[in-house]
Amino acid sequence: MRALRLERDTARVVDAPRPEPSADTALVRVELAGICNTDLELLKGYLGFSGTLGHEFVGRIEEGPTEWQGQRVVGEINFACETCPTCLEGLQRHCPSRSVMGILRADGCFADYVRVPIKNLHTVPERVPPEVAVFTEPLAAAFEVLQQVHVEPGRDCLVLGDGKLGLLIAQVLQLGGARVLCVGHHPHKLAILAKRDIQTALAADWRPVPTSIVIEATGTATGFERAVAATRPRGTLVLKSTVGHRPKIDLAPLVVNEIKVVGSRCGPFPPALRALELGGIDVRPLIADRVPLRDAVDGLRRAAEKGALKVLVEPD
């Protein structure tokens, strides 16, 4: 098969052995995969990953248990041992010996095929098209905010960052009844939210106003400082960015203002799939381009351009 491999900070499409499924895994033929900001950070050396990139996908099971074969699926990306104390507490995504698809010790989905543990798979209703279903993993990460923070109707929430994840988080918070303001640098991105009656502001024109719940999703090392400044005393700051650069940060405001900081990563697939099926979240405007797998390196370049939205990779 073909795969987009990262080796020594260089990505290229190569011929690679097709994975062989085991008793507890399935072989999925990839239909579509999405390029995430984390993929771009891995190219910069984040986590020192080598292997096949990619962790957002939708595909069909080609080999696996009989009852699963032919099913369209998406898959959770954390591969846990299921036996350690952390897993037994139900915290599999934090398993100390876990591997993570396309990020940590496990090959990803920018390939013709990807091998996934059966317990990580979720079936996708046939009426949900691939270009919508491929957003399940990042949308689940957006729904994780509602799992971690109680957001009652009418609560004031600020989303810093108008990248793909920020746009999804703003929609999820609105779906939960919050009053949302999204601040970003790109009018064409903010317009996607404005069409859904979500308040927006350009970063150049915005000044921090104390807000109960702030979600930092800028994808930059400098976003933290602005997020802290915008969080009211005893408010909640949710951190969504993962970046390769390690910035210096001033923790004093967190102490003085007694701000609660919540790290937030992956999230629940069922509500994400349900929202996509019912149309509660609109992801199509987030698609900027589709590139064949053979041109996936160009797809990475396209995704890294300033102001780019979601670039999808499609096996030929």
Model pLDDT, residue 305: 94
- Residue spans of the domains in the chain: they are 2-135+283-314, 139-263
Residue 63 has pLDDT above 90, yes or no: yes
Q: Tell me the pLDDT tens digit for each residue of 115-174.
A: 999 999 999 999 999 999 999 999 999 999 999 999 999 999 999 999 999 999 999 999
Model pLDDT, residue 312: 98
Mean pLDDT, rounded, of the chain: 95
Model pLDDT, residue 248: 79
Model pLDDT, residue 46: 86
Architecture of domain 2-135+283-314: Alpha-Beta Complex (3.90)
More confident residue, 246 or 163: 163
The pTM of this model reads 0.94
Q: Give the C-alpha separation, 189 to 71, whole Å.
A: 34
Model pLDDT, residue 244: 63
Residues 136-169, buried b or exposed e (16+ Cβ, 10 A)?
Answer: bbbbbbbbbbbeebebeeebbbbbbbbbbbbbbb
Model pLDDT, residue 245: 64
3-class DSSP assignment, residue 248: coil
Q: Tell me the pLDDT tens digit for each residue of 276-309.
A: 999 999 999 999 999 999 999 999 999 999 989 9
The CATH class for the domain spanning 139-263 reads: alpha beta
Task: Please give the share of the chain, as a percent, with pLDDT higher than 90.
Answer: 88
Model pLDDT, residue 242: 75
Q: Give the C-alpha separation, 27 to 22, whole Å.
A: 9
Per the structure block, which two tokens stand in for 77? 């990306």
Residue written as token pair 């999405």: 34
Model pLDDT, residue 220: 80
Q: Give the C-alpha separation, 94 to 121, whole Å.
A: 18
Task: Please give the share of the chain, as a percent, with pLDDT higher than 70.
Answer: 98
Alpha carbon separation from 245 to 14, 251, 280 (Å, rounded): 29, 18, 35
3-class DSSP assignment, residue 279: coil
Model pLDDT, residue 161: 96
Q: Tell me the pLDDT tens digit for each residue of 209-236.
A: 999 999 999 978 788 889 999 999 999 9
Model pLDDT, residue 241: 84
